[in-house]
Amino acid sequence: MATSQGHIYFPINFQQARLLLIADVTTDPIEIKAAGRQCLPEVELVITADLQQADTYLKEWLDTSRTLPKLILLELTEDRKQWLEELKSSTSPYHNLPLIVLGGSTDKAEIREAYELGCSAYLVKSAEGSHWFQTFGSLRRYWWETVLLPG
């Protein structure tokens, strides 16, 4: 445990840290990468919009004994719900990875469904302009500096 500006955080979370972002990259990917570099400079950010590519990354990292991501951030769409449920099933080698759903709704039924499918948390993205700096800042404060992530 360490402190920075009076705030306690866990440096171990940043060792070999990787974040897998699965999102519809409708905004400029350069903006997403810039937000990631500014808010989480210690973390390797891997971005894909494609579930097959996400599966390929995860399988490759597992098969080559490379470090799995400490977090998965998933922009949830209808076609990604089954993938989320399969990833979080008890037979999946990835079921213990924290998976945060990035949603655009505060609808209780949608949020409940995301949790029932297995997400670790539901993060509402800002409707105002670019939300990536706010999203990565929120992830850093809670997931990287407050809780201990799986190793």
Please give the tally of structural domains in the chain: 1
- CA separation, residue 95 to residues 52, 84, 89, 130, 136 (Å): 17, 10, 6, 30, 23
Distance CA(144)–CA(73), nearest Å, equals: 13
- C-alpha 138/C-alpha 46 separation (Å) is 18
- Angle at 69 (CA atoms; ends 63, 74), nearest 5 degrees: 115
Residue 12 has what pLDDT? 79
Is there a domain that residue 68 lies in?
A: yes
Question: Any idea what the CATH number is for the domain that residue 14 is in?
Answer: 3.40.50.2300
Quote the strand ranges of 38-113, DSSP E. Answer: 44-48, 71-75, 99-103
Residue 21 falls within a domain, yes or no? yes
Distance, CA of 10 to CA of 33 (rounded, Å): 23
Distance from CA of residue 127 to its chain's centroid? 19
CA distance 59 to 55: 6
Residue 68, domain extent: 2-144
Question: What is the token pair recorded at 127?
Answer: 């409707």
Q: Is the pTM of this model over 0.85?
A: yes
- Cα separation, 108 vs 72, in Å, equals 22
pLDDT of residue 149: 86
How far from 43 is each of 20, 38, 77, 81, 93, CA to CA, in Å?
10, 10, 25, 26, 22
Tell me what pLDDT residue 8 has.
58
Evaluate whether residue 150 is within a structural domain.
Answer: no
Res 130: pLDDT: 73
Q: Is residue 137 part of a domain?
A: yes
Residue 151 lies in a domain: no
What is the rounded distance in angstroms from the CA atom of residue 86 to the CA atom of residue 99? 12
> From first to last of its 151 residues, what are the pLDDT tens digits of the chain?
555 555 556 777 788 899 999 998 766 788 899 999 999 999 999 999 889 999 999 999 999 988 899 999 999 988 899 999 999 999 999 999 999 999 988 999 999 999 999 999 999 987 766 788 999 999 999 998 888 888 7
Residue 117 counted as domain residue: yes
